[in-house]
Amino acid sequence: MPVKVEVKNLTKIFGRNPKAILEKVKQGMSKEKILEDTGHTVGIRNASFQVEEGEVFVIMGLSGSGKSTLIRCLNLLNKPTAGEIYVDGDNILEYDKKQLKKFRQEKVAMVFQHFGLLSHRTVIGNVEYGLEVKKIPKNERCEIAKKAIANAGLAGWENKMPNELSGGMQQRVGLARALANDPDILLMDEPFSALDPLIRRDMQYELMELQSRLKKTIIFITHDINEAFKIGDRVAVMKDGVIEQIGTPEELLASPESEYIENFVKDIDRSKVLQAKHVMFKPTVLVSIKEGLKAAMMEMKSNGISSVFVVDSEKRLQGIVTIDDTIKAIKENKTLREILKHDYYTTDCEAFLQDLIPKATDTKYPLAVIDEDGKLLGLISRVSVLSALV
Amino acid sequence: MAAGQLSLQLPYMNNFPEFLTFNLGVYVEKFVKWLDINFGDFFEAVSNAILWLMIHIEDLLLWLPWWLVVIVVLIMGWRFSSVIAGIVFSLMLVLVGTFGYWDYMMYTLAIVLASVIISLIFGIPIGILMAYSSYVQALMRPVLDFMQTMPSFVYLIPAMLLFGLGKVPAVFATTVYAIPPVIRLTDLGIRQVSKEMVEAAISFGSGSWDVLTKVQLPQALPAIMAGINQTTMMALSMVVIASMIGAKGLGMEVLIAINRIEIGRGFEAGLGIVIIAIIMDRISQGIANRFKIPG
């Protein structure tokens, strides 16, 4: 995937004369000391990262960590003090007023924590806003806005005022407004933090569903690690204006680089992050269907096990046989195919551990991980499902 | 005893020392005269513009048949307040007419309307500038405080010096007195617009004109309307005072009544002013409420 957004050594300092403080920041003087000595606040310190096209990149941190400042630099609501921001290879800091306007109108759209809706306009008036600024004719923008509103599940609410809507619905308007502009990049500044937990879960789910269709590049801010791990392809953890670590949820979980991240990760419900592919093992013992009963028996005997999975020549899973059935079948002259059993569970490698727990407790065989062609990718022992949670 | 002795020895302690004098008034007088001499043409142009506006408003108001005015007030009172309010307002207007003050009422109204229009033309842009620049705000604040606390009579003197006697200085003095609320509330209204709303507008690529006209002014409108209401009320309270420099109207009737100690005449004219004030206040408040943003 090509790189969509690249941020290099971005620094943002708030105060009367930020450029003058830059040297001190570079020397590594602490945030508190700079505030005390000069009255300047360091918002972001030397942040660098890349976001790929179609990726959901989550920036996570507690309040005051600089995450909102950072996302506001990406559409220049905040002017960075130093550093470079490339979008599709263009350094947006070099844009003049006109280019910047065009960039904001066409490439990025933002969704706000408290929705940022214009309370004097109706729902459709809000969704139309971006198109209106772009000078799209009235009829056309009305049509686009109506579609965007319907996509957000708000059909029939077009002429209501924002205050007549619940929080969740207001944020849908915010999302519809952003998507009506058809931007490449969606900046989401804690969009679900102001919603109550049940609505939040629905909205997260809907966003993921939306993203699977639209494939936008999304930069998402949150302070909730569960949210970050749920929707993020990659997560950057920020503290005191510094990006501490960037990685996939599994990487952060497996090897947190600092105590701060470790503490964060402690709170996470692992079963919601770990997937089948993280806990499965390569099957060491397998029987091909062509090998027959004798071979199956030998395999089980030499490995000291009482059942074995059977695959065909292309490693597609055919079934499972037990030692009892095998011995009986040899006596009765049956073939291996005749005694195959199918009372095991299969799963795909993306399944979350959370969803495997009931299966693991219900079966006496390991869980088989297969791909869409039915090929056996690995096995998950019942023990490993339950032990990975600890 | 001790205090008495002290004051005998040190007379400065009781009386302000005579050698500390500063005749600020002299300089103010000189300045106004200087203005008049050097910017005479400018003031004449301003004077002509105000006069033009005044005459047209006055002509229009006097041309309107009395019953039409009563009906319009009835309908507006009904629409913006209640049916009963509409009926009461129109009856009150008829009452002023029965005093024989219909024309005077229209003269007074013309001064108020002219002052309010001029106040809006200057006040709203100044308010916007104040909201945009803390510099301008810091500069304007004391000026506005000064304008509002200075006894309103004082404005009459420079107004008279610069514009002579009659309607024009009356409108000028009234405007100076009445403009601060609309400026202050425009400033306040724009500053109160939520930061996220403005950010949202900018993030979609709005230029500053878009942000001002599509977000900030509509959001500030309720505050601005409240400012217009206050400005109207202050303009009305100034008309009696403005009559001292020859502005015809109900105010002048009050003034004459005071001079001649005619209680009845004074009461009738005074009641007329009260009635205009009530009607204008209620109707402009009703309009302002219409602009309230839900939520």
Q: Kindly list the domain boundaries of chain B, sorted by start residue.
A: 41-290
Q: How confident is the model at residue B88 (pLDDT cuts 50, 70, 90)?
A: very high
What mean pLDDT do residues A90-115 have? Answer: 92
* pLDDT at B10 exceeding the cut of 70: no
Quick check: B295 pLDDT over 70?
no
Separation of alpha carbons B65 and B71, rounded Å: 10
ipTM of model over 0.90 = no
Residue of B204, B213, B224, B292 to mutate for A, most A C-beta atoms under 10 A: B204
- Report d(CA B178, CA B290) in Å as an integer: 23
Cα-Cα-Cα-Cα dihedral of A176, A177, A180, A182, to 10°? Answer: -100
pLDDT at B293 over 80: no
Q: Is B195 on the interface with A (CB under 8 A)?
A: no
Pairwise CA distance, residues A103 & A292, whole Å: 66
- Among the residues of B101-133, which ranges form H helices? 102-132
Question: What is the reported pLDDT for B1?
Answer: 47
Per-residue confidence at B119, pLDDT binned at 50, 70, 90? very high
CB contact under 8 A, A132 and B214: yes
Q: A120 and B204: CB-CB below 8 Å?
A: no
Question: What is the share, in percent, of chain A residues with pLDDT greater than 70?
Answer: 99
pLDDT at B215 (0 to 100): 94
Question: CATH topology for A277-387?
Answer: CBS-domain (3.10.580)
Cβ B205–A114 below 8 Å, yes or no? no
Given a cut of 70, whether residue B8 has pLDDT beyond it is no
| Contacts of range A335-340, beta carbons closer than 8 Å, 24 or more positions apart | A335/A292, A335/A293, A336/A287, A336/A289, A336/A291, A336/A292, A336/A293, A336/A296, A336/A310, A337/A289, A339/A293, A340/A310
A77, A98, A115, A120: best to mutate for the B interface, most B CBs within 10 A = A120
User: A166: Cβ–Cβ under 8 A, 6 or more apart, which residues?
Assistant: A199
Question: Does residue B227 carry a pLDDT above 80?
Answer: yes
Whether B171 has a pLDDT exceeding 70, the answer reads yes
Q: Which long-range contacts (CB under 8 A, 24 or more apart) does A328-333 make?
A: A329/A293, A330/A293, A330/A294, A330/A297
Residue of B nearest to A104 (CA): B205
Cβ distance A19 to A198 under 8 Å?
no
Secondary structure (3-state) at A337: helix
Q: Test A118 with B215 for CB contact under 8 angstroms.
A: yes
Contacts of A129 in chain B (CB under 8 A): 201, 204, 214
Confidence tier at B247 by pLDDT (50, 70, 90): confident
- Average pLDDT score, chain A: 87
pLDDT tens track for A205-262: 889 888 988 899 999 999 988 888 888 999 999 988 899 899 998 888 888 888 888 8
Measured CA distances, B12 to B8, B19, B220 (Å)? 10, 10, 55
Q: In the numeric block, which tokens belong to residue A70?
A: 């950072």
CB contacts of A119 in chain B (<8 Å) are 197, 219, 293-295
- Which pLDDT tens digit goes with each residue over A6-48? 999 999 999 888 888 888 888 888 888 888 888 888 899 999 9
- Give the per-residue pLDDT at A388: 65
- Rounded Cα gap, residues A165 and B295, in angstroms: 10
- Among residues of chain B, what percentage have pLDDT more than 70? 96
What confidence tens digit (pLDDT) does each residue in A344-361 have?
Answer: 888 888 888 878 888 888
Tokens of B6: 């002290």
Taking 70 as the threshold, does the pLDDT of residue B12 lie above it? no
User: Is B204's CB within 8 Å of A181's CB?
Assistant: yes
Interface of A with B (CB under 8 A): 72, 75, 77, 100-106, 108-110, 112-120, 129-130, 132-134, 161-164, 177, 181, 187
Confidence band for B87, pLDDT divided at 50, 70 and 90: very high
| Structural tokens at position B163 | 């514009």
The residue of chain A with its CA nearest to that of B211 is: A133
Say which of B199, B205, B295 has its CB closest to residue A116. Answer: B199
Test A118 with B196 for CB contact under 8 angstroms: no
pLDDT band at B188 (very low <50, low <70, confident <90, very high): very high
Q: Do B196 and A108 touch (CB under 8 A)?
A: no
For position B30, what pLDDT does the model report? 87
Chain A: nearest CA to B37, how far in angstroms? 45
Question: Could you give the C-alpha distances from B213 to A32, A225, B121, B198, B226, in angstroms and in order?
Answer: 41, 40, 16, 11, 19
Size of interface A-B (CB pairs under 8 A): 76
Residues with Cβ < 8 Å from B42, sequence gap 6 or more? none
B290 touches A at CB < 8 Å: no
A58 close to A252: Cβ distance less than 8 angstroms: no
The per-residue pLDDT for range A116-139, each reduced to its tens digit, is 999 999 999 999 999 999 999 999
* pTM over the 0.80 mark: no
Contact of A15 with A40, CB cutoff 8 Å: yes
The predicted pLDDT at position A335 comes to 83
Per-residue pLDDT reduced to its tens digit, B137-149: 999 999 999 888 8
Q: How far is CA B233 from CA A167, B109, B177, B237, B287, in A?
A: 40, 12, 11, 6, 15
> Residues 209 to 268 of B: which have CB under 8 A from any A CB?
210, 214-215, 218-219, 221
Please answer yes or no on whether B295 and A108 come within 8 Å at the CB atom: no
Class of residue A119 by CB neighbours under 10 A (exposed 0-12, middle 13-18, buried 19+): middle
Contact B294 A161 (CB under 8 A): yes
| A120:B203 CB<8 A | no
Return the domain boundaries, chain A: 277-387
Protein fold of B41-290: MetI-like fold (1.10.3720)
Residue A264 has pLDDT above 80, yes or no: no
* pLDDT given for residue A389 in this prediction: 64
Q: Provide the shortest C-alpha distance from residue B83 to chain A (in Å).
A: 28
pLDDT for residue B184: 95
Residue B281 has pLDDT above 50, yes or no: yes
The residue of chain B with its CA nearest to that of A183 is B204
B218/A120 touch (CB, cutoff 8 Å), yes or no: yes
